[in-house]
Amino acid sequence: MEDTGNIPYFKGQHEYKGIVYPNIVLDSSIDRLKSFQVRDDDIWIVTFPKAGTHWMMEIIGLILSGGDPDKIDRSLYCNTVEMINLDQRFPQTKEEEKLHPLDMSPFLDVIERAPSPRAMLTHLQFDLLPRDILKSKIVYLARNPKDLIVSWFQFFGKFPERPLTMEKAIEEFVDGKMQWGPWPVHVRTFWELKDHENVTFIFYEDLKKEPAKYIEKIANGIGHPLSEEVLQRVVKFSHIDSQKATFKKLEENGKVNYVKASGELAFLNKGVSYRWKQFFTVAQNEAFDEWYQDKMADTDLKFTFE
C-alpha cells in the first residue's frame, strides 16, 4: 500500500492481486463476488473508470422510471459493488479521519438486500465478476481511451494531496497501473461478449451522436422497451445539461454521494468527445498511437478518435 502521508486513507490506493484500486475498494468484496447470487433481472452497468459511468447510470435509471428523473431509485447508485458503503460523511483531513473514521462496511451488503430489479455498477475486470453474471443483463459502455485518460486526469488531478499530470496519467494507463487494471483486457473481454443475448455493448461516441437510437438499443437489451414518448423523455433528461440540473437538486437535498466522489469531486465533467486534442502533446499522441496499435492489432474492436 502506498504511503499516503497526510492524505486521508480513502484518497490512497493499494494493489490487490496485481491490480491497483482506491482504498475504498474492499478486497473482501472482490473475493465475495465470485459467489454472489445473481438474479435473472439484475442489470449490471459495466465501465472502465471515466468512460461515462454516471451518464449510463442516469440512462438506465430513466428507462426504469419511465423517463422521470425524480422517480429514479438511486439507492444502488452512490458507488460500485466492490466499494465500501459510501453513504456517509467523508473526513477531509487525517485529524478528522482519526476523530470520525470511515465505516468500512461493504456496499455488497446493501446490494444483496435490495429489491429487484437491481441496477448495479462495477469497474471490475470480467474475470472478477460473478461466475453466472451472464444470466443477468449487462450494459457495457466503452469510450475512446484518449478521452478516457483526459477525463481521469481532470478528475484525479484535482486532488491537491496527490497531484496527477497528463504525462503520469498516460504512463499509468499504458502500463496497466491505472486503478482497476489494464484497459485493453477490460474492454476487449466485453467486446468478445457483444453478441451474447444478455450483453449490450455501447460506444460512448455513438451514444453522444445518436442518443435516441442507442438508448432504444439499451432499453431493449435490458428487457424494458420504451414507447416513443418515454424514449424522448429519457433522451431529454439524460442530456448532460439536464443531468447537471438533476445533480444540483440532489446536492441541495444533501445527496452529495450521488453527485461527488468522496464528497468533493464532481462525477460529471464536460461530457464532450475528442477533447484529447487539447491535452495530448504531439509526442504523447504519437507514442500512445504506437502503443494502441500494438495492443489492438489482433481485434476488430475499433474506436473513433475524431
pLDDT of residue 7: 72
Burial track 246-273 (b if 16+ CB lie within 10 A, e otherwise): bbeebeeeebbbbbbbbeeeebeeebeb
Cα–Cα distance between 238 and 54 in angstroms, integer? 10
Residues of the chain with pLDDT under 70: 1-6, 157-162, 246-247, 250-271
Residue 224 lies in a domain: yes
Structural domain contains residue 142: yes
State the pLDDT at residue 160: 60
pLDDT for the residue numbered 124: 98
Where in the sequence is the domain holding 85, given as residue range(s)? Answer: 9-295
Q: Give me the pLDDT at residue 43, please.
A: 98
| Nine-digit cell string for 283 | 509526442
Cell numbers of 182, please?
489494464
Exposed (0-12), middle (13-18) or buried (19+): which is 224, by Cβ within 10 Å? middle
Q: What pLDDT is stored for residue 2 in this prediction?
A: 46
pLDDT given for residue 255 in this prediction: 58
pLDDT of residue 264: 47
Q: Give the per-residue pLDDT at 146.
A: 97
Nearest residue to 255 (alpha-carbon basis) of 95, 104, 87, 80? 87
**CA separation for the pair 300, 294 (Å, rounded):** 13
Positions annotated as catalytic residues are: 123
For the chain, how many structural domains are there in total?
1
Instruction: Tell whether 100 is covered by a domain.
Output: yes
Distance CA 218, CA 63 (A): 9
Decide if 304 is inside a domain. no
Helix axes 53-64, 228-238, angle to 10 degrees: 150
Judge whether 183 lies within some domain: yes
- β-bridge pairing 199-203 and 137-142: parallel
Judge whether 235 lies within some domain. Answer: yes
Q: What is the pLDDT of residue 87?
A: 76
Whether 306 is covered by a domain: the verdict is: no
pLDDT at residue 159, rounded to an integer: 62
Neighbours of 18 (CB within 10 A): 8
**CATH number (domain holding residue 74):** 3.40.50.300
Residue 74 lies in a domain: yes
